[in-house]
């Protein structure tokens, strides 16, 4: 014989009850325990509270209960047979009304009244469901749980009188031949015959008691989820059902907040090794979770699940007077026990200087007062500090029977949280090593759960969350490349990239779970007004692991945002070279913040668009090489301009062409003035270890002074036209010398300079075509022939690919 328990969601309405009937039609002989209709117990307790407060709104309860139970009667019982059940319903509701009126008049709640009122949902639902099952030609008998289970109270907890309970259950089942025995959950009686309840998770406990006494072949708990999950599915979207757990693993997970099953449910089943199945009423063919003595084999998954308890507080007792003095812990826990304060977690340093406990936030203030009262004498002598309370905490635990046999589990847990800037406030691990428990800030809950789940259960896929500012030429290409490579990244690099927010100078589009990149332009047009503070706060408040801020602009004010992102453990990827070319102290501060908060800060595209220039330089230095000299053509824009500029062309038209084809900055004077190249060689100098400012770089401009003094693009192009003879002279001189014009940057002996040069034949720069860049690294190791990096150095697509490369590099860390 099996015992089946159906939760409130399984019988909440006619549609869900139909699923229950379908399941029971397949059973041969079983006992069925049913909870109150979903939400009814909460309604009853709300009404009880309203009544004692003399709030007349409690009377609305009766109409709600009548509507919900009548819905079941009318859906399943023929109209000519409804009168008896409707009469029963009205009689019970009248009785309930009398009880609540008494509470209303007396303004007092007694334990007896609470028990009688809170169990009305189970009594109503089971009587009605019994008749509905009979109407479906099922052989059903109804047993009142109060005739079977006897409980008593000790220290505020309900304890079962097992001898009497066993005797009554065995007597009731002695000559049972019915296909289904229906028993209401949650409700019991005491030795005096008065109604009591079994407390939180009481219906599960009812089913467990029956299964144990009857030596059932199994207990099936039918709910609205397909088993116990690897993490809370509403917090971790990738959470999945656990196939197999041991009793002890299930107890640990349920203790730490997994509400599918409650710890007392398993205790009566352990001795007889009665397996428990957690199944989904609405997906009865899904496997669910099996819980038994053995659990899964040792070669299975080491960590079985991640659970958490929210609304936790930390209370810390510390002082030099505690060191080496016996009895402090005893007094502490005895004082808390007297106040019926439950301790969730305990940790104490080996120095004995402090004891830290985790408990429910609702008990925190009482605990503080109790502790201060207990140790008032020691506090007065300043041997002990008054108890300190930290609120807004969460207790997170990873659970698994076989964790003790595997090295590095705790290290993996702590490094995962550390890499995501989640600070651990307290740690506890028992000698059994079945769980590792930590206390963290409530604001980090979602990030911590997802990070740990990704580490222990999703090793195949790492999720990156992007917050992108700038969707012009480069930004739109980046989004296009991300969408195009989505499948490849997941299949080959095990990376999933989600774009969480997008902004331009006018509007912004923000989501919690990712933007559809096939619709982003349309959605962004309909977005809210762009606001960088709101954009940052959205990223900060979501607190997603592996978050990256991507700057595709050339905007100075956007570059000032980096520090606060890095300080919030949000990585920064940028093609905007203003930040790294700003004052050295600001550059140094960004690098320092990135290191302090373990936040990636990548800016490869600052120098060579998609070329691995900074990466190559970093690898040379990291491997112990020394930079002697760097020579480079670092402006794809200027290289395009001078490669395209021929005898019959006007310089202005070539610059316009470069701007139109996306090779220059929106303000082409930035490129042509040499300031852009100066910033690039500055960044390389700093990455080489030099403390150097932009003003220290010698910039020999080829532009006439009048061109440099223009204030907008129109006047700039007009000035180029006006001075076309100057540019023609530059070209003629190079042609005459059988040379080519290249804008060259050089770093040597701690000095940097940029300027236009005539490059003779045979030089590495001479055959540099189109918009290509080239960088020559002369080092101690590469002293005769330089290490050369060469390729496309401008254009939206290659710059976007460089940014994309930095994002992927973060993902592969």
Active site residues: 680
Tell me the torsion sign for CA atoms 97, 99, 100, 105. Answer: positive
Burial 597-628 (b: 16+ CB within 10 A, else e): bebbbbbbbbbbbbbbbbbbbeebeeeebebb
Q: CA 287 to CA 241: how far, in whole Å?
A: 9
Q: Are residues 309 and 256 in contact, defined by beta-carbon separation less than 8 angstroms?
A: yes
Q: Are residues 686 and 587 in contact, defined by beta-carbon separation less than 8 angstroms?
A: yes
Cβ neighbourhood burial of 386 (10 Å; 0-12, 13-18, 19+):
middle
Which residues are paired to 318 by β-bridges?
354
DSSP string, 391-425: EEEEEEEEE-GGGGGSTTHHHHHHHHHHHTT--EE
Cβ neighbourhood burial of 641 (10 Å; 0-12, 13-18, 19+):
buried
Give start and end residues of each alpha helix (H) in 119-215: 120-135, 162-173, 202-213
Tally of CB atoms within 10 A around 15: 9
103 Cα distance to chain centroid: 45
Q: CA 45 to CA 61: how far, in whole Å?
A: 10
Radius of gyration of the chain (CA): 36
Q: Which residues contact 776 (CB under 8 A, 6 or more apart)?
A: 629, 630, 631, 632, 764, 786, 787, 788
From the list 653, 475, 459, 442, the residue with the least C-alpha distance to 558 is 475
Q: What angle is formed at CA 234 by the lines to CA 229 and CA 236, rounded to 5 degrees?
A: 65
Distance in Å from the first CA to the final CA of the chain? 54
From the list 117, 25, 120, 134, the residue with the least C-alpha distance to 73 is 134
From the list 19, 21, 4, the residue with the least C-alpha distance to 217 is 4
DSSP string, 545-593: TTEEEEE-S--HHHHTTHHHHHTTT-EEEE--TTTTTS-HHHHHHHHHH
Q: CA 396 to CA 320: how far, in whole Å?
A: 30
Q: What angle is formed at CA 432 by the lines to CA 427 and CA 437, rounded to 5 degrees?
A: 20
Q: CA 40 to CA 450: how far, in whole Å?
A: 33
If you search the block for the tokens 């030609």, which residue do you land on? 137
> Would you state the structure tokens that stand for residue 773, as one six-digit string?
């860049």
Q: What are phi and psi of 380, to 5 degrees?
A: -65, -30
- C-alpha separations of 88 from 34, 127, 235, 711 in Å: 18, 9, 43, 88
> Would you state the structure tokens that stand for residue 468, as one six-digit string?
């992108």
Question: What is the 8-class DSSP label of residue 241?
Answer: B
Q: CA 562 to CA 549: how far, in whole Å?
A: 8
Q: Are residues 791 and 783 in contact, defined by beta-carbon separation less than 8 angstroms?
A: no
Q: Are residues 146 and 183 in contact, defined by beta-carbon separation less than 8 angstroms?
A: no
Q: Which residues contact 416 (CB under 8 A, 6 or more apart)?
A: 451, 452, 454, 455
């Amino acid at each position: 014989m099996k015992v089946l328990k159906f939760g409130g969601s399984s019988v909440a309405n006619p549609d869900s009850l139909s699923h229950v009937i379908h399941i029971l039609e397949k059973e041969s002989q079983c006992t069925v325990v049913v909870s109150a209709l979903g939400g009814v117990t909460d309604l009853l307790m709300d009404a009880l509270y309203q009544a004692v407060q003399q709030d007349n709104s409690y009377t609305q309860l009766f109409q709600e209960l009548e509507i919900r139970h009548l819905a079941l009667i009318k859906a399943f019982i023929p109209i000519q047979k409804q009168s008896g059940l409707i009469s029963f319903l009205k009689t019970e509701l009248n009785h309930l009304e009398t009880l609540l009126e008494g509470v209303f008049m007396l303004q007092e709640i007694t334990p007896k009244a609470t028990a009688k009122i809170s169990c009305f949902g189970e009594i109503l639902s089971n009587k009605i469901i019994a008749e509905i099952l009979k109407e479906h030609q099922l052989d059903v008998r109804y047993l009142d749980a109060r005739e079977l289970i006897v409980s008593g109270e000790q220290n505020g907890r309900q304890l079962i009188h097992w001898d009497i309970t066993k005797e009554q259950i065995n007597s009731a089942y002695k000559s049972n031949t019915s296909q289904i025995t229906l028993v209401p959950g949650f409700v019991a009686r005491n030795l005096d015959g008065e109604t009591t309840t079994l407390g939180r998770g009481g219906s599960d406990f009812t089913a467990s008691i029956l299964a144990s006494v009857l030596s059932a072949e199994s207990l099936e708990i039918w709910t609205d989820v397909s088993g116990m999950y690897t993490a809370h599915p509403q917090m971790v979207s990738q959470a999945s059902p656990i196939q197999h757990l041991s009793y002890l693993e299930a107890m640990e997970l349920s203790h730490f907040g997994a509400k599918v099953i409650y710890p007392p449910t398993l205790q009566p089943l352990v001795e007889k090794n009665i397996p428990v199945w957690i199944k989904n009423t609405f997906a009865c063919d899904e496997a669910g979770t099996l819980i038994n003595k053995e659990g899964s084999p040792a070669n299975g998954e080491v960590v079985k699940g991640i659970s958490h308890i929210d609304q936790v507080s930390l209370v810390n007792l510390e002082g030099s007077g505690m060191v080496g003095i016996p009895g402090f812990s005893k007094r502490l826990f005895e004082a808390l026990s007297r106040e019926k304060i439950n301790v969730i977690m305990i940790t104490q340093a080996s120095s004995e200087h402090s004891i830290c406990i985790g408990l429910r936030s609702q008990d925190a203030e009482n605990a503080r007062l109790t502790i201060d009262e207990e140790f008032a004498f020691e506090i007065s002598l300043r041997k002990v500090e008054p108890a300190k309370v930290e609120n807004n905490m969460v207790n997170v635990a990873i659970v698994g029977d076989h964790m003790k046999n595997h090295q590095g589990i705790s290290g993996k847990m702590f490094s995962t949280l550390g890499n995501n800037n989640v600070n651990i406030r307290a740690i506890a691990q028992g000698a059994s090593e079945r769980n590792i428990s930590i206390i963290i800030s409530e604001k980090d809950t979602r990030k911590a759960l997802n990070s740990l789940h990704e580490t222990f259960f999703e090793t195949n896929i790492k999720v990156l969350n992007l917050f992108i500012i700038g969707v012009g030429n480069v930004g739109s290409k980046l989004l296009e490349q991300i969408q195009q490579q989505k499948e490849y990244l997941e299949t080959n690099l095990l990376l999933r990239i989600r774009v969480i927010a997008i902004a331009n100078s006018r509007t912004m589009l923000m989501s919690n779970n990712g933007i559809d990149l096939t619709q982003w332009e349309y959605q962004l047009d309909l977005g809210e007004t762009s606001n960088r503070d709101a954009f940052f706060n959205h990223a900060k408040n979501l607190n997603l692991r592996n978050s990256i801020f991507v700057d595709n602009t050339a905007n100075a004010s956007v570059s000032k945002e980096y520090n606060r992102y890095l300080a919030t453990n949000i990585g920064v990827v940028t093609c905007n070279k203003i930040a790294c070319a700003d004052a050295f102290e600001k550059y140094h501060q960004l690098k320092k913040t990135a290191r302090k908060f373990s936040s990636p800060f990548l800016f490869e595209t600052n120098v060579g668009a998609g070329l691995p220039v900074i990466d190559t330089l970093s690898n040379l230095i990291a491997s112990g090489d020394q930079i002697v000299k760097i020579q480079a053509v670092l402006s794809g824009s200027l290289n395009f301009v001078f490669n395209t500029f021929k005898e019959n062309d006007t310089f202005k038209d070539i610059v316009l062409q470069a701007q139109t084809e996306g090779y220059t900055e929106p303000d082409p004077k930035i490129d042509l003035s040499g300031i852009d190249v100066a910033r690039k060689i500055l960044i390389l100098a700093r990455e080489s270890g030099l403390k150097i400012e932009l003003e220290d770089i010698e910039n020999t401009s080829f532009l006439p002074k009048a061109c440099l003094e223009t204030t907008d693009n129109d006047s700039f192009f007009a000035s180029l036209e006006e001075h076309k003879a100057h540019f023609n002279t530059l070209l003629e001189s190079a042609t005459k010398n059988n040379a080519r014009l290249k804008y060259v940057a050089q770093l040597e002996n701690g000095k940097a300079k940029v300027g236009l040069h005539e490059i003779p034949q045979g030089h590495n720069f001479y055959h540099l075509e189109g918009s290509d860049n080239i960088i020559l690294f002369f080092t101690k190791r590469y002293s005769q022939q330089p290490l050369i990096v060469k390729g496309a150095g401008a254009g939206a697509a290659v710059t976007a690919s460089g940014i994309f490369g930095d994002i992927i590099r973060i993902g592969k860390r």
